[in-house]
Amino acid sequence: MHRTLFLTAVLAVTALAQSPAPAFEVATIKPSPALARWSGFQLPGGPRFEASHVTLKAMIAYAYEVREFNVSGGPGWAASDLFEIEAKMTGDATPAGTRPMLRTLLEERLHLSVHRETKEAAVYQLVLAKGARPKLEEASEGGFLKYVGRGQVEGHGYPMSGLARYLESLLVQPVLDKTGLTAKYNFKLTYTPDETQAALPVPAGVPSDAPSLYTALQEQLGLKLESAKGPVETIVIDHAEKPSEN
């Protein structure tokens, strides 16, 4: 009896180990043209996944669900050369479904190998401003962030962890949610972005004297960004080769 159970467990583990990695049915990856109509990743509908004008580091960031500034190492071209991908799969594409497929594609076509490291690094902590009450309206519905334009964003039923991730994209540095606020909120943030914060035109609704991002967070939301050291997960590129024409 025990031997039968043992053999069954061994066979199950062996079958799992031999299961093929998730992969696109058909995929091409090639250098992007000098001028591209758009840049980034998209799921245009149905069983399709596309990327345009993206670096290898951007692809790794998407595939492993980290920020691009948390990808390190690799050859110099990993952060400079631009590529495009067109892929098809079985069933409708979703971000969660395409990430492991993209990892497989990079391993097969670029012979990519990586490893994860968690290290102490400079971070921002999003905290409650001292002596101030959060200026946030709790919401029972929503769940999205609306980009009105450069310097203006609105949260509709949005969590503080999501706001922290938005701030990461502006500051190009990890932002840890330390507010202790666990609900979802409605809020509006209007600020004057500096030259590093998103290359989008400032919309007409943003006043010319809007405060800096740091001041706006405190005055408009009752929150504050504090510099600190904290654990940051990094994807380190061990090896990568440029893709051959396909």
What is the C-alpha separation between 18 and 190, in angstroms, rounded? Answer: 52
What is the pLDDT, as a whole number, of residue 226? Answer: 97
- Mean pLDDT for each 10-residue chunk of the chain (246 residues)? 54 56 94 87 93 96 93 96 95 92 97 95 94 88 85 93 93 94 95 68 63 94 96 95 79
DSSP character at residue 32: P
Q: Which residue has the tokens 């654990």?
A: 231
In three-state secondary structure terms, 233 is: strand
pLDDT at 179 (0 to 100): 96
Residue 246 has what pLDDT?
A: 56
Cα 69 to Cα 40, 60, 62, 171, 176: the distances in Å are 16, 11, 12, 10, 15
pLDDT at 16: 45
Record the pTM: 0.72
Instruction: Judge residue 189's burial from the number of C-beta atoms within 10 Å of its C-beta, 0-12 exposed, 13-18 middle, 19 or more buried.
Output: buried
Which of 109, 118, 113, 67 lies closest to 87, judged by CA?
A: 109
pLDDT for position 140:
86
**pLDDT at residue 35 in the model:** 83
> Dihedral of CA 112/44/151/127: which sign?
negative
